[in-house]
Amino acid sequence: MQESRLSIGVADPEDSTDLRDFYRWLDNEEEPPGTVRLASEPVAGSMSGGLDVIDVVLTHAVGLANLTVAYATWRKARRSRAALTFTRASDGLTVTVREGSEEAVQQLLRAFSEPGRPEDG
Rounded to two decimals, the pTM is: 0.82
pLDDT at 52: 85
Instruction: Give the residue from 50, 32, 31, 28 showing the smallest Cα distance to 41.
Output: 50
SS3 (DSSP) at 117: coil
120 pLDDT higher than 70: no
Over residues 48-94, the pLDDT tens digits come to 556 789 999 988 778 888 898 899 899 889 877 788 999 999 899 99
- Is residue 35 a part of any domain in this protein? yes
Mean pLDDT of 1-20: 84
Domain of 63, CATH number, reads: 3.30.70
Per the domain annotation, does 119 fall within a domain?
no
Tell me, yes or no, whether 120 lies in a domain. no
81: domain range?
Answer: 4-42+50-113
Q: How confident is the model at residue 46 (pLDDT cuts 50, 70, 90)?
A: very low
Residue 99 in domain: yes
* 83, 10 contact by CB (below 8 A): yes
Query: Is 118 a domain residue?
Result: no
Number of independent structural domains in the chain: 1
